[in-house]
Structure 1
Amino acid sequence: MEFMDSLLYSSLFDDSSDDDTNHVERKKKIFKIRINNLDLWDDQEFIERYRVSKKVALLLTRQIEDEIKFDTEKNLAVKPIDQVLATHQYYGSGSFMRYVGDMSGLHKSTVCRIIHRVTRSIAQLRPSYMNTPPNNDERMAVATDFYKISRFPKVLGAIDCTHIQILSPGGENAEDFRNRKGTFSINVQVVGDANLCIRNIVARWPGSAHDSHIFNRSNLKCRLESSEFDNFWLLGDSGYALRPYLLTLLNDPQTQARKYYNESHIRTRNAKERLFGLWKRRFPIIGTKLRSKLDNVQYIIVATAEN
């Protein structure tokens, strides 16, 4: 009996067994075929898939190429233009990274790293693509475009907030991101012009933050109060307080002049609603629920706003 026990013990702990079932083969590396999407599609088909024109894609690539190119001599390193296209496919499809990888000939983990690198590089270009008019001539041009809508003078922009849904960030402060509708979101403040371009954006406040709270703690308010945009103003809804540089609707207008003011105010500010709709339809990734980490969500919002 002792002899049999010793044999059983040795068979359980003997590492020199030749049994093939204990041998685990390393998964063979597969190199997917990469397609030259820049030349494959015509201009219209390219825009439908990537939400930007070929000219814009090439311009973005030149501007961020030094930040995103891989410092390697390997032949299969992903080119900067392919990184930009994969990122915009993610923005434009609102899909999972695995799907983007299958369409780009890349592994899911590679797509994940590329999207984060490219998104952060694009977001850093914000001062070049998103700014309030720096001088009176440009401000008058913006105001003229607004005036053509409903004859409201000297409007520099329409301000409002929109919620971008996210996954629960977890942690002790997760409930701060739950908005009044019970979902988790980032409350994003946007100032847009009459041509549906975003001039200013704040994308760092949780969904529970009120619109006026975000504005009161923004750099934009400090610039307005310092008279940097003297004789021009923003248009906002009733969520904001009436100020010399921020005009809101009049409550219970009795005279015809006040009614005309409200009507002109509503029509002019409607450009902001169309901007939000266009932005979220163009980039479904922000029109649905963003399934990225909180640190990356803010960069994605800013990067899509610049496009």
Structure 2
Amino acid sequence: MLTEPGRCRSLTTEQRVLILLRFLAAGSFEQNAADLVRVSQPTVSLNLPIVCDALLNHFTEFIRMPQISSERQAAPLAFHSLAGFPRTIGAIDCTQIKLLSPGGYFGQYIMVGDSRYANTSYLATPYTISHPGLATNPIKRVYQASLIGTRNVVERMYGVLKRRFPVLRHGLNVSLPTAQKLIIAAAILHNICIEEGEVYVDEEVGNENVEESANEQLTEEELLPGVNQLARDEVLQYFRIEAERHQHRNLN
């Protein structure tokens, strides 16, 4: 339910939602949304955080980690089907987010990120292009290709999200608190679209940073000496075992 005293009270729920959708789709100028429903720009400015707050009340319904046992079992299988990378519960992107261990139910899983993140016990990252042995070690090459292929899903998701709501690409000309709410609201609406079968198809949506992730020149091993490399080491061991099994089957 959307309620607010003052100028927004006369708006219907449909009008308020249309204002938000128009703003997200048409760029960061509030006047564009105002023209759609024939209201003033200040009314749009007041309305945006109200609708965002209403959506944020449903945040955990549409943006969440797998909760029930069947979901936690299905997620690693779905990620594995992308490029053969094992035990993956999620993929992340963006260097501004400090990632903590999922813990709890997710302690047995790992996440995958690009080489701008540190490799830890719960986060597996690709080798840098200058890593010793990458060019000659077949297991490391399999690991590299599999991880990048698995992480592509989050690259594409951000591309689709920004094309569905271009304001996220063009820039938000609003206050910081409203901008934060708009970003989360857009993510919720994006997931609602997916659940309703509103699939966004655009051949131009690509994996913009895949090559950058693979060819990043920073060497996290040198910058972060002593970092826990359990996640990468475990996955490398997985691929070694898979290679041995494959070789054994060929011999038989």
Report the CA distance between 1:236 and its aligned residue.
1.0
Question: Which residues in structure 2 correspond to 1:176-195 (within 5 Å)?
Answer: none
Instruction: Say if 2:154 is the partner of 1:272.
Output: yes
Q: Identify which of 97, 122, 125 aligns with 1:245.
A: 122
Aligned-partner Cα distance in 2 for 1:227–1:83? 39
Report the CA distance between 1:258 and its aligned residue.
1.1
**Matched-pair contact (CA < 8 Å) for 1:142–1:156:** yes
**Matched-pair contact (CA < 8 Å) for 1:70–1:77:** no
Q: CA RMSD in A?
A: 2.1
**TM-score, normalization: structure 2?**
0.67
Instruction: Say if 2:68 is the partner of 1:135.
Output: yes
Aligned to 2:91: 158
Report the CA distance between 1:113 and its aligned residue.
1.0
The farther-off stretch of 130-139 and 268-277 is: 130-139
Counterpart of 1:93, as a letter, is A
Report the CA distance between 1:228 and its aligned residue.
3.2
**Matched-pair contact (CA < 8 Å) for 1:69–1:80:** no
Instruction: Say if 2:141 is the partner of 1:255.
Output: no
Instruction: Say if 2:16 is the partner of 1:79.
Output: no
Aligned to 1:69: 3
**TM-score, normalization: structure 1?**
0.55
Report the CA distance between 1:90 and its aligned residue.
0.8
Instruction: Say if 2:116 is the partner of 1:234.
Output: no
**Matched-pair contact (CA < 8 Å) for 1:69–1:79:** no
Question: Which residues in structure 2 correspond to 1:181-220 (within 5 Å)?
Answer: 210-211=95-96, 214-216=97-99
**Matched-pair contact (CA < 8 Å) for 1:140–1:154:** no
Report the CA distance between 1:227 and its aligned residue.
4.5
Structure with the bigger percentage of strand = 1
- Deviations along 1:283-303, one digit per CA (max 9) or x if unpaired, are 111111110011211111111
C-alpha change, 1:227 and 1:80, in structure 2 (3 Å) is closer
**Matched-pair contact (CA < 8 Å) for 1:93–1:285:** yes
- Deviations along 1:22-74, one digit per CA (max 9) or x if unpaired, are xxxxxxxxxxxxxxxxxxxxxxxxxxxxxxxxxxxxxxxxxxx2xx23569x9
Counterpart of 2:143, as a letter, is Y
Structure with the bigger percentage of helix = 2
Instruction: Say if 2:42 is the partner of 1:106.
Output: no
Aligned to 1:93: 26
- Name the % identity: 28
Report the CA distance between 1:95 and its aligned residue.
4.4
Aligned to 1:286: 168
Aligned to 2:187: 305
SS for the counterpart of 2:143 is helix
Query: Where do 5+ consecutive residues of structure 1 fail to align?
Result: 1-64, 162-209
Counterpart of 1:83, as a letter, is R
Report the CA distance between 1:156 and its aligned residue.
0.7
**Matched-pair contact (CA < 8 Å) for 2:28–2:172:** no
Counterpart of 2:52, as a letter, is T
Query: Where do 5+ consecutive residues of structure 2 fail to align?
Result: 190-252
**Matched-pair contact (CA < 8 Å) for 1:70–1:78:** no
Q: Return structure 1 stretches of 4+ with deviation > 4 angstroms.
A: none
Aligned-partner Cα distance in 2 for 1:235–1:257? 17
Counterpart of 1:230, as a letter, is G
Report the CA distance between 1:263 and its aligned residue.
0.6
Report the CA distance between 1:89 and its aligned residue.
1.0
**Matched-pair contact (CA < 8 Å) for 2:4–2:50:** no
Report the CA distance between 1:157 and its aligned residue.
0.8
Q: Computing the radius of gyration over CA atoms, which structure comes out larger, 1 or 2?
A: 1
Counterpart of 1:77, as a letter, is S
Matched positions, count: 183
Report the CA distance between 1:125 and its aligned residue.
2.0
Report the CA distance between 1:123 and its aligned residue.
2.3
